[in-house]
Amino acid sequence: MSNPRRHLLELAPLDATELLHLLDLAESFQDISQRRIKKVPALRGMTVVLLFLEASTRTRTSFELAAKRLSADTLSITGGTSSVVKGETLLDTARNLEAMSPDIIVLRHRHSGSPHLLSRHIDASIVNAGDGGHEHPTQGLLDALTIRQHKRRIEGLKVAIIGDIAHSRVARSNIVCLNRLGAEVVVCGPPTMLPPDIESLGCRATSDRADAVQDADVVMMLRIQKERMTEELFPTDREYAMRFGLDRAALRMAKPDALVMHPGPINRGVEISPEVADGPQSIILDQVANGIAVRMAVLFHCAGGGAQA
């Protein structure tokens, strides 16, 4: 592609101006989902392929809705129904798809770097919908948008991200995005779930939940990604919940108006108690709703729409 910004592979290379451009664009798309006819012609005639080779509920459905609300044609291919199960490589699958002239391929894959690989070999714009434990750029953007809408700013906020940091692409995208937008980010988890180099992304790491939650403006909880673990990294779910979970008592250490977030899927009673997940400080479903607007903005941007960031 002549313009490298037509892909969205990761947030790490984007500066604050580019991130804010995407957040503002997302905000401008938000009211479309409130209309009776939830459709604008922005991507009419374009084809968006949703290539999801790893489990997904929220991300896949909201990318599909986002593409449809922009009037694009969508084609959804998921792990179990694709020829990947017959041994076809990702690159071969993508080359075959490319022969059908898609404009954008949205890829979720269990290997870090797979969207980058596609972007080097395929002409379509590539959007990363989560690559292994690396990045989940649209989740980082939708979380930043949700925080900004509730707090009216990001700069100066203390954001605690607690859980399986080592396997979390959500944590990585959030750390780089929120740090670049001026937040103080503290990540917290058992030592076995804190990668040694994590602070180089622009955060502080601790294994003390109280240290992370104390006076936080936002507490973001993450799922333990057992499917990515090759060995046991903590003794039992019960012990994990006691030391790293968020229940009412732990939340009381944060600021009284602290926001509670979670990218989903939630393991109730493990990383978050049901009364906190469903409580008045939880904005988990706002995150889901904002996912559509953010993905509309990203698809629009990658299709060449709007001012360049």
Residues found near ligand NCD in the complex (CB under 6 A)? 58-59, 130, 136, 139, 169-170, 223, 225, 263-264
Q: Angle of helix 284-302 relative to helix 137-151, nearest 10 degrees? A: 120
Instruction: Work out the number of other CB atoms within 10 angstroms of the CB of residue 232.
Output: 9
Closest approach of ligand NCD to the CB of residue 215, in Å: 26
**Starting from the edge strand earliest in sequence, which strands make up the sheet with 184-188, in order?**
204-206, 184-188, 158-162, 218-221, 259-261
d(C-alpha 221, C-alpha 165), whole Å: 10
CB closest to ligand NCD, residue no = 223
Q: How far is the CB of 282 from ligand NCD (least distance, A)?
A: 15
Tokens read off for 163: 């859980």
| Closest to ligand NCD by CB, 47 or 173 | 173
Are 234 and 241 in contact by the 8 Å Cβ rule? The answer is no
| Identity of the residue, 47 or 263, whose beta carbon is nearer to ligand NCD in the bound complex | 263
Residue closer to ligand NCD, measured from CB, 130 or 195:
130
Given the complex with ligand NCD, which of 58 and 150 has the nearer CB atom? 58
Q: Which residues of 157-185 are buried (b: 16+ CB within 10 A; e: fewer)?
A: bbbbbbbbbbbbbbbbbbbbbbbbbebbb
**Nearer CB in complex with ligand NCD: 265/305:** 265
Both tokens of 60, joined, read 């896949």
Q: How far is the CB of 265 from ligand NCD (least distance, A)?
A: 6
In whole angstroms, the minimum distance from the beta carbon of 304 to ligand NCD comes to: 26
> Smallest gap, in angstroms, from Cβ of residue 75 to ligand NCD?
20
Sign of the alpha-carbon dihedral angle for 304, 307, 308, 309 = negative
